[in-house]
Amino acid sequence: MINKELVAASTEPLILSLLAGRESYGYALIQEVKRLSGDKIEWTDGMLYPVLHRMERRGLIKSRWDERDTGRKRKYYSLKKDGKTAMARHYEQWSLVHGVLSGLRKEQHV
């Protein structure tokens, strides 16, 4: 499993990136992250929904309720303009950190 602090730090950029492609609902986001990480990142409802609500309050994402054919209501989330800007900032920051770590790793193997 991945360190909890790293999972927490990566949650917002992952959500923004997933929603950049299309709107989604909480359980689908949980399953997609699990699939993309090869089952190494496991989000829980209790972890994800507070982050989604906080991001919504900050104006990064928006939500809408939709009722499926089964009669079950789901809350779908999508990216707002400020969310796209935040996603770009996150990419820059993660790229910088990744570059530093990669450089350090290369130095250690020389």
CATH code for position 92: 1.10.10.10
Domain containing residue 77: 4-108
pLDDT at position 72, please? 87
Q: In what order do the strands lie in the sheet with 24-25?
A: 24-25, 73-79, 61-67
Q: Is the pLDDT of residue 109 over 80?
A: no
User: Backbone phi, then psi, for 80, in 5-degree steps?
Assistant: -100, 175
pTM to 2 decimal places = 0.87
Q: How many domains does the chain have?
A: 1
What are the tokens at 109?
């193997």
pLDDT at position 110, please? 64
Q: Is the pLDDT of residue 91 over 70?
A: yes
DSSP assignment of 16-56 equals: HHHHHH--EEHHHHHHHHHHHTTT-----HHHHHHHHHHHH
